[in-house]
Chains A and B, each alone.
Chain A
Amino acid sequence: MEEQLATFLTSQGAYHIGIGLAAIGSGLGLGMAVSKAMEAMGRQPEAAGRIQTGMIIGAAFIEALTIYALISSFIRM
């Protein structure tokens, strides 16, 4: 069992699962960020442009974490 686990963790499959885990975290974070931004836009439609810019920047930072996981799997290839 332990040998199989070790083989799996050193194989490519572990990277796929790692990307999936990173995507879960990014998805949760993005969902929270975008829902709050939408609430804020609904409350203050006149500030929608500025909120949207901030939301996109934040989303880029959140989403970069998944991209780092993806890049590390590319490098492993």
Chain B
Amino acid sequence: MLEGTASMSILYSVIPNVVLQAGEHLASQAASHAADQTATAQAASAHPPELPNFVHLLHEFFPDSSLFYNLWQIQDLVFIVIIIAVIAAFFSAATRKMSIIPRRLQCMVEMIVEGLLGVVCGILGEKNGRRYFPFLGSLFIFIICMNWFGLIPFMKSPSSNILVTASLAICVFIFVQFTAIKRLGIKGFFFHLMGEPRDAVGWAMVPLFLPLHILEEFIKPLSLACRLYGNVYGEDVLLGVGLVLGIGMVAVVWPGTFIGVPLHLPFVLLAILLSAIQALVFTLLASVYLSMVMPHEDHDDEH
């Protein structure tokens, strides 16, 4: 499949081997479907297809270069650095010359920040919402940029790696526990973990509730990390599968071609929406976990 004229071979090498091999695999499977079903299914699913990114392509172009090999090994970090640079450049450009009557960029940033502030304040209350907004708001902006980055051609979503989402969830965990100890005090923190017993029945249930609450505190970040990772990685694999199917369909009819049908296009539109919702959900849940450890007199009137 990879043989062709010189101009073709350049085009072939742009399409990553993963996709080409999977298309070839589909074509060969269609040609000889008498093979061992279980073995082929496992061989096909050994590497779930993913869209190509430029670090991977650099590694494919220069397989001998140790620099590109190392970059490929830490590709998520590379993309995180790019994303942070993009965010920092955008926001510093938007807030450079701030005026009472906002111009285009400043107006856009104000819209983003005010919308986020409204969401966070709706959960945490006006005072606490403004106090913890810098953390929660930057969490949202960072996550939504990470999720959307995978939809740009030759880029990858860093949040499709569980280590990235787990480190974000650990940040939330540490922030929430630190805030709890700061706001409730050490005694209040353990009282909160014991389920805030008020009468004899409450104190009798403490041996049951204390392990449950401690376990719950650790399950929260686990569930945050798994939710974001599963959604984003699932989306990426869905896009990759759509692409492979689009190439494989044409390859069955016309072997040796690199033209495909853009079957993944509807899923791209779905992914735009789902990425935004997942970023919102991560921020909302972080705010809810934070509101659970606030002292009660502060947020009783909000609910």
Contact = CB atoms under 8 A, between A and B. Distances in A.
A19 B149 CA distance: 27
Interface stretch (B38-46, B69-77, B98-106, B247-255): B38-46
Nearest to B228: A67
- Nearest 6 A-B pairs (CB), nearest first? A67-B230, A60-B281, A71-B230, A64-B227, A77-B45, A70-B234
Contacts of B277: 56
Chain A interface, >50% SS class? helix
Interface in A23-75: 49-50, 53, 56-57, 59-60, 63-64, 67-68, 70-71, 74
Contacts of A20: none
Contact of B223 (A7, A13, A64, A74): A64
B229 interface: yes
Give the interface size class of chain A.
10 to 19
Interface residues of B, number: 26
A57 B280 CA distance: 9
Interface of B: 38, 41-42, 45-48, 118-119, 122-123, 223, 226-227, 229-231, 233-234, 237, 277, 280-281, 284-285, 288
Contacts of B229: 71
A70 B281 contact: no
A63 B227 CA distance: 9
Contact of A12 (B45, B223, B234): B45
Given A57-B281, A77-B46, A77-B48, A67 B41 contact: no
A56 B230 contact: no
B41 A12 contact: yes
Interface of B is mostly: helix
Given A49-B118, A59-B281, A67-B230, 16 more contacts: A11-B41, A50-B122, A56-B277, A57-B281, A57-B284, A57-B285, A60-B227, A60-B281, A60-B284, A60-B285, A67-B226, A67-B227, A67-B231, A68-B226, A71-B230, A74-B48
A74 B233 contact: yes
Nearest to B46: A77
Contacts of A74: 48, 230, 233, 237
A64 B48 contact: no
Contact of A49 (B122, B226, B288): B122
Contacts of A77: 45-48
B122 A53 contact: yes
Nearest to B162: A71
Contacts of B47: 77
A11 B38 contact: yes
